[in-house]
Amino acid sequence: MKKLLAFMIMLVSVICLAACDESQEPTPDTNQNETNDNQDNTNQSDSTNDNQNDTNQSGSNNNEPEEEEEETEVPFVNPDAETTIFLAGDSTVKTYNDSQYIAGWGQYLDLFLDDNITVKNCAQGGRSSRSFINEGRLYDIAGGNYTFSENGGNSIGDEIKAGDYLFIQFGHNDDDTKMESSASSNYTNLYNRMVPLGTPNSKGIYPTTAGERTATTTLPTEYTQYATDSEETSALKEIAKYGSTYYAYGSGTYKWYLKQYIDFAREKGATPVLITPVARVKFSGSQIIGGPGLHGDDFAYVKAVRQLAEEEDCLLIDLFASTKELLEEATSTYANYLMALKPNELDNGTWPTGYDGAYGNTKAGYTGIEATHYNKYGAYLTAAYLAEALLNSIENKESHNSNKESYKFVNSVLKTPEDYIDPSNLITIAKIDALEALIEKVDVTNPDRAFNDEKAAIAAINELIAVEITNDNYLARQTEAIKVRAIYDAVNATYRSLITNYQSLVEYEATIEQTIIANRPVPTSVVRMNPQGLTAGELSSNQTLGIFTIYSDSATDKEVTVKSSSTKYTYNSEEYTVSQYLSMGGTATYGTGRYISFTTTGKCSVTIVAKSSNNTDNRVVKMVDSTNTKNEVATFEANTAISITTNEIEGVGTYYVGSSSGGVYIYDIIIEYFE
């Protein structure tokens, strides 16, 4: 695979606005089993699941369609008509709000296609191949009984035409194998979602057993044997929205339901494309594993899709194989960083900084990563894999089947996507290098785009250094230099050697720094706290260091601990060393403990050197007015690395410094007077 494009500094946030899903989606339901897809239609029940033995679904083991149908004339395809790709699927495909970290690959697919192709993402969370049909999302809605806002009440059948494509990915919610592990706790979505595979024949071929409609006044016994009266009432209310009849659990097998999509597309003159469900993050050692609720033993549901593609002579994209390879390449450690977060309340915020702040932050409520749903970058990579599969099929001129069905948009797959989800800025973790190596493997871009970035960097540097640095403009030039440095950093390391004027950027930055130092006012006096004079250990009482008083009260568990460690930091281009620091193990209680007090005698600057006591999340340090502790003079984040902040104080006053969240380390406080 070609070398990965340079990591971009600014994340390009992308929203695929599918015509069939223009309304904002609710946040996925938090009560749902993780092995189930998100269920975000308020009309859908969110219960849990029941047990079904596949031996009741043996049906017919034939590999052919149930009945031979007469050949029908293929609808005329207008060569000038715009091609549309319709997506039918679940929450791993659907389009989410831009404010959510969770994403489906369907919301990024159009980034890999030019303007000649329209993508209409009709996928919805919590749907199976059966429920999607029951709700009328595939066919015309019979009698208009079932209404849904996600695609304006229109089914795919209302719009799909000859020459279009129907991409079909189901399996996460169809999977009833979770019933094998605990039927009494996994039955609640059996009545509306699950679809049995049926019993395979001696060759391992799963049956294509036709479903029959039944009255919506009845529920399957596999469900009612576990459901409470109130659950049954709720379920009946739900399925009543389907109309007078529906396909119930136990009527029809997984392959038969998928076959309905194939037959339907071909009847419309469109091309069906089966897609295997994306892999779930469940490792055993270095391998993704199957099992109950994990696409079945030996990934049975995935196998069934592959079998059906062969039996029905249908185009197939094996997205399961691609994502399984991706996750295993990432290993169980790094694969987590491609996934959505638990609980779902953490799913909203600014990407990627919000995700970064929530990941691993137990104080924010973090409990782990999702095993099913990908985050924006994971979904983007999945779309990249799918685009690569399309590209390979096109470049290899594969028709794939005797029906001569193929991807006819040969010139529409972009080797260089329109926008990028920046891998280097996704998660600011020390382990990003390991992800970087992985990400190179998934690149669907080409070196030309990176080469263009290299030329852009050369132009930006030339434009920057054309302006002379003066005592009047050095701060403004510093801002511009930071922007240019970001452009340089965004170029792939392979191409940085081509930036022939890079040394000019280095020299320009050095001149700015020298000018800053030359123009920096010299303080008339400096007062430092520097806690190296204290005895290491827990402070049982308040301690004084010059003008600084350290409030510590072990009796109320508001103590401060002095810890020994030689630490260096740089402030105003000077290097300082402290041999000890103060560990404040929790939120400050002004008047009791865990804070530092000092009094200023005039206009000055106060610089605080601090660090989070936790290696995985940031903490907040506050400086407040002693006369009113709610009056915050300064607030800043103590990062997992040493953080330095300077605040200007106008005159005489007494101030308290302490943590407003978790534990922090205070290394130094520097007060500088300039008058």
**Residue 492's pLDDT band (boundaries 50, 70, 90)?**
low
476 and 563 both lie in a single domain:
no
Rounded CA separation 340/329 (Å): 19
Is the model's pLDDT at 578 over the cut of 70? yes
Average pLDDT on 246-274 reads 94
Give the integer Cα–Cα distance in Å for 160 and 375: 30
Mean pLDDT estimate for the chain:
77
- Give pLDDT, residue 44: 38
Report the predicted TM-score, pTM, of the whole model to 2 decimal places: 0.56
What CA–CA distance (Å, rounded) separates 316 from 504?
Answer: 52
Distance CA 404, CA 401 (A): 6
Number of domains in the chain: 3
How confident is the model over 423-432, as a mean pLDDT? 36
CATH code where residue 588 lies: 2.60.120.260
Average confidence (pLDDT) over 464-476:
94
- CA distances from residue 160 to 139, 551, 552 in whole angstroms, order as listed: 10, 72, 71
Residue 71 and residue 153 in one domain: yes
Q: Which domain holds residue 454?
A: 447-519
The answer to which of 139-153, 435-449, 471-485 has the lowest mean pLDDT is: 435-449
Q: Is the pLDDT of residue 325 over 60?
A: yes
Here the tokens at position 113 are 């296609």
- Does a structural domain hold residue 610? yes
| Strands, sheet with 165-169, edge to edge from the N-terminal-most edge strand | 117-121, 83-89, 165-169, 271-275, 315-317
Whether 28 is covered by a domain: the verdict is no
Which region holds residue 125: left if phi is over 0, alpha if psi is between -120 and 50, else beta?
beta
Q: Which of the listed residues 480, 495, 519 is the one where a domain comes to its end? A: 519
pLDDT at site 530: 87
Check residues 15 and 608 and name the one with the higher pLDDT.
Answer: 608
| pLDDT level of residue 494 (50, 70, 90 thresholds) | low
Beta bridge partners of 86: 120, 166
- What is the arithmetic mean of pLDDT over 43-65? 35
Residue 351 falls inside a structural domain: no
618-639 tens-digit pLDDT: 788 889 998 888 888 888 877 7
Higher pLDDT: 69 or 462? It is 462
Q: What pLDDT digit, counting tens, does each position of 197-249 carry?
A: 999 999 999 999 999 999 999 999 988 888 888 889 989 998 998 889 999 99
Mean pLDDT computed over 589-606: 89
Of the residues 490, 519, 548, the one at which a domain ends: 519
**632 and 615 share one domain:** yes
Of the residues 476, 502, 519, the one at which a domain ends: 519
The band of 659, judged by pLDDT with boundaries at 50, 70 and 90, is confident
Helix 376-395 vs helix 319-334: crossing angle, to nearest 10? 140
- What is the structure's pLDDT at 608? 94
The residue to which tokens 């568990």 are assigned: 557
**Is the per-residue pLDDT at 508 higher than 90?**
yes
Total Cβ atoms within 10 A of residue 507: 11
Give mean pLDDT, residues 290-307.
86
- What's the mean pLDDT in 125-148? 74
Q: Are residues 600 and 499 in the same domain?
A: no
| Cα 354 to Cα 356: distance, rounded to the nearest angstrom | 5
**Which residues is 583 bridged to in the sheet?**
561, 665
Indicate if 506 and 589 belong to the same structural domain: no
By the 8 A CB rule, do 315 and 306 touch?
A: no
| Structure-block tokens of residue 316 | 């197939």
pLDDT above 80: residue 438: no
Q: How far is CA 266 from the centre of its chain?
A: 35
